[in-house]
Chains A and B, each alone.
Chain A
């Protein structure tokens, strides 16, 4: 069989969730891969990983492009120059330009089989919807502050609104993404999504034919990467969060819960150590100081992937914080790749998430602890954890084992051919 060409803007050694997800899948597959990638842009990535992320069946090919728009032309050219080598191409969604390459290749070479793999949705991404700034002149959605009829119907307001939309055309950008995602879903031969919730969200309004092309493959962990001999020798109960936090995915309520714990039971709070590794917003950093919990919460720099796995093993508990998308939807459709790595570490998890969504479902199924964003509820769980009233024990994580998922992936590719 010929090789599969994977086109992914992020791939190791760059330390990015997107690239690591792809790598774990390919490494455990029995097929051979060329991965067209780049190693210059570290936007949405944390530095480089040490050179342990290599596999015999995976050969990265590095483009010299520095921005995603040049990358499209370069990717198409690479395929056209080497098309005899490949039967199947697979593109990853972050950045969406990889899918644009797939789209062009598919249009030019209809016989090539194309697998479009999505991390997050491109169109209607709830994060983008949530962060999209509203025009202060927009009546719909009540962006305006002046509700007088005279102002609402004034030409001045209408023109200002149009100019604002032209100037900050995030809407246009979102429409472009919607068009791209639609074309990808229509033309790709197989679509990989990471959860049923994502499938339900992305395929709203699409036909059954499109749904039939979808294969749900969850994020994975790779057992080979863990040092299971590592254990926590700290006398305190160490809880760790690894990854990116921002204004939407924020630990502020966890910090409130820790503050209350310290106020109400100082001796118990002395048993707790909470470590964050990765980005934390300035507001959250300030909150640690405001809440006077700097003796409990430590903020650390991002770490390499292998170091993060070691930290997981050395922690008593792992913390998952999801984005609170409650303003716009009932469930969180995102499946954070770290959940799979957490499960691989076989450590108990305290998840702070919405009550529905992939993370919530997984945490329930594996008998881990799921909390809403309520500081009061988080406080209760913290007390239970510190007083050792929770016994999560061994859980079944086999569904997320990269070897198992890669087997399903191989089966899908073989069927496609």
Chain B
């Protein structure tokens, strides 16, 4: 049977979560044959691979396991895409899962669709409280309406963008642009969110709450400590996106969208350096040097973007004005006090 949806499941040491992830995908027998689930083992050291192979055996023809050396999250998507045969393509991290009811309806609906990108909603599952936070796009964007992305008013997104958790791409588009995500690098989901935009013309927003994004593990790449540890990766991704902005043929509309995302990333990047309490003094010194260098790079090479960042985000503006005097040793409150102090000084002058 022709596969309607390929789901790539990047897997690295997730034996505790994998069953939940795959069980949620294969829950409904009616849709199993329509799915191609590619579990890409990224050199796991725990029992994940054996668990994955059990599913491959049980759901022969639906579940495929690829075992490869560790190459990072991006490498698993690259590998999955190479062998993907489904009409549509999405990624589901192996510690996350899907809402079984909506996923089933979604797959059935895919059979009748022909668009480049399908957006759905997702929920954040807070691991330690059991709370759920639903993430929807603004109401301005109508459900079931096919939009032309070349003419789409991105302001309607209210700062949101096409996330890995919300996006289902037409596989051919990803193959056509030869999507290749950086390997051995964190935060490459941003590349996945942005690179395909060059070739996307149409998208539809469906009222399904599918992805369950499991948040709160300390070893997660979005935890504060991980951001500090992997800050150079974050910088690398920003630089790659800036390069993409230079080289990709984007109309003004799409360009505005990409710039908007890069500005958000810059805000996060400056926050890593300027809003993190670091105990290690030597690390503070190194980080201060790093952010100054990055600031210099951005100011000189991408003056436009830099100026927009200054206009858009208080934190970037403040640190630039104070020449990072409070960087890497201040928390939010200290920075607020320092900001007041700076303003007063200005008035006195």
Q: Is B127 part of the contact surface with A, judged by Cβ < 8 Å?
A: yes
Tell me if B216 counts as interface (CB < 8 A to partner A). Answer: yes
Of B99, B128, B132, most A-chain CB atoms within 10 Å: B128
Decide if B218 is an interface residue (CB 8 Å cutoff).
yes
B322-340 residues with Cβ-Cβ distance < 8 A to A are 333
B interface, how many residues as a size bin? 20 to 34
Whether A372 contacts B125 by the Cβ 8 Å rule is yes
The stretch that binds A, out of B19-27, B246-254, B262-270, B301-309, is: B19-27
Among A147, A330, A354, the one with the most B-chain Cβ atoms within 10 Å of its Cβ is A330
Cβ of A389 within 8 Å of any chain B Cβ, yes or no, is yes
In the assembled complex, A110 has its CB within 8 A of some CB on chain B: no
How far, in whole Å, are A360 and B20 apart by their CA atoms in the complex?
Answer: 14
- Do A374 and B27 touch across chains, with their CB atoms under 8 A apart? no
B125 near A376: Cβ-Cβ < 8 Å: yes
Judged by a CB distance under 8 angstroms, whether B97 is at the interface is: yes
A389 CB contacts on chain B under 8 angstroms: 27
The answer, yes or no, to whether A40 is at the interface (CB within 8 Å) is: no
Q: Would A383 and B125 be within 8 Å (CB), given that A324-B130, A374-B132, A376-B212 are in contact?
A: no
Contact (Cβ within 8 A) B132 A264: no
Task: Establish whether residues B127 and A355, one from each chain, have CB atoms under 8 Å apart when the complex forms.
Answer: yes
Distance, CA A360 to CA B15, complexed state (A): 12
Q: In the complex, are the beta carbons of A376 and B218 less than 8 A apart?
A: no
Q: Judge whether A326 and B97 touch: CB under 8 Å.
A: no
Interface size on A, as a range, is 20 to 34
Residue in contact with A264 in the complex, picked from B23, B101, B123, B218, CB distance below 8 Å: B101
B36 to chain A, nearest CB (A): 21
Query: In whole Å, how far is B46's beta carbon from the nearest beta carbon of chain A?
Result: 11
Output the nearest chain A residue to B130 by Cβ-Cβ distance: A373
> Most chain-B Cβ atoms within 10 A of its Cβ — which of A147, A253, A356, A380?
A380
Report the Cα distance A256→B205, complex, angstroms. 28
Interface residues of A in 323-339 (CB under 8 A from B): 324, 326-327, 330
Q: Is the CB of B27 within 8 A of A383?
A: yes
Whether the Cβ atoms of B130 and A253 lie closer than 8 Å is: yes
Give min CB distance, B105 to chain A, whole Å: 11
A327 surroundings in chain B (CB, below 8 A): 128-129
The answer to whether A364 has its CB under 8 Å from any CB of chain B is yes
User: Which B-chain residue is minimally distant from A383 (CB atoms)?
Assistant: B100
Q: Taking the nearest CB of chain A, how far is it from the CB of B271, in angstroms?
A: 21
Contact pattern, A 368-391, Cβ under 8 Å of B = 1, otherwise 0: 000111111100100110000100
Among the listed B20, B27, B128, which residue makes an inter-chain contact with A377, where contact means beta carbons less than 8 Å apart? B20
Q: A376-B99, A380-B100 are in contact. Are A364 and B16 (CB under 8 A)?
A: yes
| Docked CA distance A374–B17 (Å) | 13
Residue of B nearest to A352 (CB): B130
Q: Which residue of chain A has its CB nearest to the CB of B123?
A: A376
* B97 and A380 within 8 A (CB): yes
Residues of B within 8 A of A375 (CB): 130, 132
Tell me the B91-136 residues at the A interface (CB within 8 Å): 97, 99-101, 123, 125, 127-130, 132
B337, closest chain A residue (CB): A149
User: What CA separation (Å) do A326 and B127 show in the bound complex?
Assistant: 8
What residues on B are CB-neighbors of A324 within 8 Å? 128-130
With A380-B23, A380-B27, A383-B27 as contacts: A372 and B101 at CB distance below 8 Å? no
- Point out the residues of chain B lying under 8 angstroms from A374, CB to CB: 125, 130, 132, 212
CB-based contact B127/A376 at 8 Å:
no
Specify the chain B residue showing the minimal Cβ separation from A372. Answer: B127
Please give, as numbers and ranges, the residues of chain A lying within 8 Å of B27 by CB-CB distance. 380, 383-384, 389
Please indicate which of the listed interface residues B17, B101, B123 has the most CB atoms of chain A within 10 Å of its own CB.
Answer: B101
**Interfacial residues of chain B within 201-220, with CB under 8 A of chain A in the complex:** 212, 214, 216, 218
The complex places the Cα of A356 from the Cα of B97 at a distance, in Å, of 19
- The docked-state distance in angstroms from the alpha carbon of A324 to that of B20 is 19
Report the nearest A residue to B20, measured CB to CB: A377
Contact (Cβ within 8 A) B218 A330? yes
Using known A-B contacts A326-B216, A376-B132, determine if residue A384 contacts B125 with beta carbons closer than 8 Å: no
- Given the interface contacts A330-B218, A377-B125, A383-B100, does A372 sit within 8 Å of B130 by beta carbon? yes
Q: Which of A350-366 contact B (CB under 8 A)?
A: 354-356, 360, 364
A residues within 8 A CB of B20? Answer: 371, 377, 380
Task: Give every chain A residue within 8 A of B214 (Cβ-Cβ).
Answer: 372
In the complex, which residue of chain A has the Cβ closest to the Cβ of B17? A355
The residue on B at minimum CB distance from A250 is B130
Cβ-closest chain B residue relative to A327: B128
- How far apart sit A57 and B28, CA to CA, in the bound complex (Å)? 56
Closest residue of A by beta carbon distance from B16: A355
A265 vs chain B, min Cβ distance (A): 9
**Which of A147, A327, A360, A372 counts the most chain B CB atoms within 10 A?**
A372
A373 to chain B, nearest CB (A): 3
Shortest Cβ distance from A379 into B: residue: B100
Cα separation A264 to B128 with both chains bound (whole Å) = 26
Cα A253 to Cα B27 with chains together (Å): 21
Give the shortest distance, in Å, between B15 (CB) and chain A (any CB): 8
Given contacts A372-B127, A375-B130, 9 further A-B contacts (CB under 8 A): A324-B129, A326-B128, A326-B216, A330-B218, A374-B130, A380-B23, A380-B97, A383-B100, A384-B27
The 10 closest A-B pairs by CB, nearest first: A326-B128, A373-B130, A374-B125, A253-B130, A380-B100, A355-B16, A374-B130, A380-B24, A376-B212, A264-B101
